[in-house]
Structure 1
Amino acid sequence: MGDELRADQFRTEAASPRGFRQVYVREGVGGVPLLLVHGWPETKRIWWRNIAPLAAAGFEVIAPDLRGFGDSDVGPDGFHDVPSHARDLYALVRGHLGHERVVAVGGDLGGPVIQDLSLRFPGFVERMVLFNSPLPYDRERMAGLRTRPPREASDYFVPQGTDADALAAELATPEMRRRYIATFYTSRFWAHPGAFAPEEVDFMTEPFGDGAKLRASFGAYESTFSEAARSEPTAMACPNPTPTLVLFGPSDHVIYPDFDRMAAAVFPEHTGPFRLRDCGHFVQWEAAHALNSAVTAWCGDLLAGRRRQ
């Protein structure tokens, strides 16, 4: 476990295609481009159990820190909403790295980001793998489904979205910030009970000791309440024609109870949904082998095609 929890386990690169320094891991260069997009409160570290196995399977794995997270800079324009993240990733992967198409994987905030990316830049996202994330709402298609997350698990949402400055001021020290973030991995029951050992929680929360970045990370929540926090309208829509593999960690107490069925309604070209036993919100860490093997199998034709080239 010691090696797994090293921040320098993978070599990082940096680029500034959108006017700020964005840091990312890239392994398996020359393979099928695979973009791993973290959520909140996460950084690229949440993918530490996925990068090496997926690179070994034949993918060129690209795992960035979104603007305002981890080792990346805060957005210079002050926006940290879904469209900003989507445009950043397109500039990084298409503009800087030169990939015309990509398979995108995301959960939590990363889910809306890759959905936006797939519709904002048609044809760029060849396939998606989606788990435990927000979805566009369709009243007719989702009639009768449990579409509201448990209220007791959602109390964080309003202060982060409507009074972010006050909340950031309350979290006045690195230790206070990390303790706040730690609750999302433990007592708030996003993850399956016991999924994160104390040293793993420490590893995931360390980047959130930075006050400016924690404040910036609230931007996605602010954008759901305030038009002033939106750089532009999101491109998320239902239905989304992108072929999508849907996974679901049902121990999650913050996402929609019927996420899997809702996602099936949103993505007509879906595979699954597949429910993952004893897994909650952080699928890429809690069910790493299941995610890695599912992505590899689902993209087997792409991997075989790349090997023949």
Structure 2
Amino acid sequence: MTMVEHRMVEVNGVRLHIAEQGEGPLVVLLHGFPESWHSWHRQFGPLTEAGFRVVAPDQRGYGRSDRPADVESYTILHLVGDVVGLIRALGEERAYVVGHDWGAPVAWHTALLRPDLVLGVAGLSVPPPFRGTQPPLAAMEERFGGRFYWNYFARPGVADAEFGRDPRTALRKFFHWASGDAPGSGEDRQPLVDPGRGWLAAMPEPEVQPEWFTEEDLDVLADSFSEGFTGALNWYRNLDRNWELTAPWHGAVVTPPSLYVYGDRDLVPAFPGMPELIAKLPRLMPGLRREPVKLAGCGHWTQQERPQEVNEALVAFLRSCP
């Protein structure tokens, strides 16, 4: 079996670092916040052995990829454009698209906006997009008095400074807090931030690293944020702009074959309105191949916490697509 190889690809005026392995139909793996291509390292082998060509980019603003200075360069249309451009740059006409956390909305929107390019789409943690009636930052500002983490991340320079002071410690605490190993459940861990203290102050220091997130994994991840968190946080600063830009697709649904996987201890599926949406997905999603897959004891870092179960679900789903 070939090794994972790394190179740079120019897409839409930005240079993206990609990791790739294997031959066969293309599968694009899209990471979330605060991650990198490395969050998929346990998926490369199984997907390659199943007969697929696997490519995981550092998305714009992350890792070794370019970090445009303009905040407005991180809208959902730019991010989908990167996926579309990447498929073309890799010499393919169509691909399977899989995303986790922020990568999931990018994957879902790629399928929503360009279904002609998507053989199948899978989202981990974050369910498919159904555009609300008001801008999301404004809605959460009103609901939680500005304490919801989206609003905290959207403030220029604030979370950038907090996470950037000691990236390795910030990442270690954040990954433990949102994992299935942390005490409490998703329902009682709404991500609210005390603006006076910041977010990390409320997160306990884990006594030991979990088996699924080793010191080596932490080293690789911390290194990918050596130039800071601003590019990654700029994604959150476009949430209301994305709501405006996606108005033409209000009420539209994802039509390609699809799969949704989440952990029962993940805080994201417990966000306001999410449980009700997940319950309705089989009726709302014409391409959903099976009931949403709920992983017992799994927190937010789906493919890292439960690699074997996620790999089995992905391989079965990809093989089921025409």
Please give the range of the TM-score, normalised by the shorter of the 2 chains: 0.7 to 0.9
Match 1:240 to one of 235, 245, 254: 254
1:236–1:131 Cα change, 3 Å = farther
Pick aligned residue for 1:210 from 227, 243, 248:
227
Q: How does 1:1-309 map to 2 (within 5 A)?
A: 10-29=4-23, 31-75=24-68, 78=71, 79-94=73-88, 96-133=89-126, 135-137=128-130, 155-161=148-154, 163-171=155-163, 173=165, 176-187=166-177, 189-193=178-182, 194=210, 196-197=212-213, 199=215, 200-211=217-228, 214-225=229-240, 227=241, 233-234=245-246, 238-256=252-270, 258=275, 260-270=278-288, 271-300=290-319
SS of residue paired to 1:35: strand
CA drift of 1:196 comes to 4.6
Q: Residue 301 of structure 1: CA displacement?
A: 5.1
- SS of equivalent residue, structure 1 residue 159: helix
Unmatched runs of 5 consecutive residues or more in structure 2: 133-142, 183-209
- TM superposition shift of 1:238: 4.0
Q: CA deviation at 1:134?
A: 5.2
User: Is 1:115–1:236's contact at 8 Å kept on the other side of the alignment?
Assistant: no
Distance 2:317 2:164 in 1: 45
1:75 CA drift (Å): 2.8
TM-score of the superposed pair, with normalisation by structure 2: 0.75
- Structure 2 partner of 1:144: none
Q: CA deviation at 1:236?
A: 7.6
Change in CA separation of 1:282 and 1:167 when aligned onto 2, cut-off 3 Å: closer
The answer to whether the 8 Å contact 2:115/2:255 transfers is no
Offset, 1:292: 1.3
The CA RMSD over aligned residues, in Å, is: 2.8
SS of the residue corresponding to residue 245 of structure 2 reads: coil
Counterpart secondary structure, 1:209: coil
What is the alpha-carbon distance in structure 2 between the residues aligned to residue 301 and residue 157 of structure 1? 36
Q: How far did 1:122 drift?
A: 2.7
Deviation, structure 1 residue 191: 4.0
* Count of aligned positions: 273
Report deviation, 1:198.
Answer: 5.2
Q: In structure 2, what is the Cα distance between the partners aligned to 1:111 and 1:236?
A: 18
Q: What is the CA–CA distance in structure 1 between the aligned matches of 2:8 and 2:294, rounded to whole Å? A: 36
2: CA distance between counterparts of 1:28 and 1:278?
A: 31
| CA distance in structure 1 between the aligned counterparts of 2:264 and 2:221, rounded to whole angstroms | 21
Match of 1:14, SS? strand
Q: Unaligned regions of 5+ residues in structure 1, if any?
A: 1-8, 140-149
**Normalised by the size of structure 1, how large is the TM-score?**
0.78
Judged with a 3 Å threshold, the aligned counterparts in structure 2 of structure 1 residues 92 and 166 are, in CA distance, closer, same or farther, namely same
SS across alignment from 1:186: helix
Deviations 1:146-175 (A, max 9, x none): xxxx97xx74321211x13233244554xx
> Partner of 1:5 in structure 2?
none
Paired with 1:75 and 1:266, the residues of 2 have a C-alpha distance of 36
Q: Distance in 2 between matches of 1:254 and 1:192?
A: 16
Percent identical across equivalent pairs? 26
Q: Distance between the aligned counterparts of 2:301 and 2:67, measured in 1?
A: 24
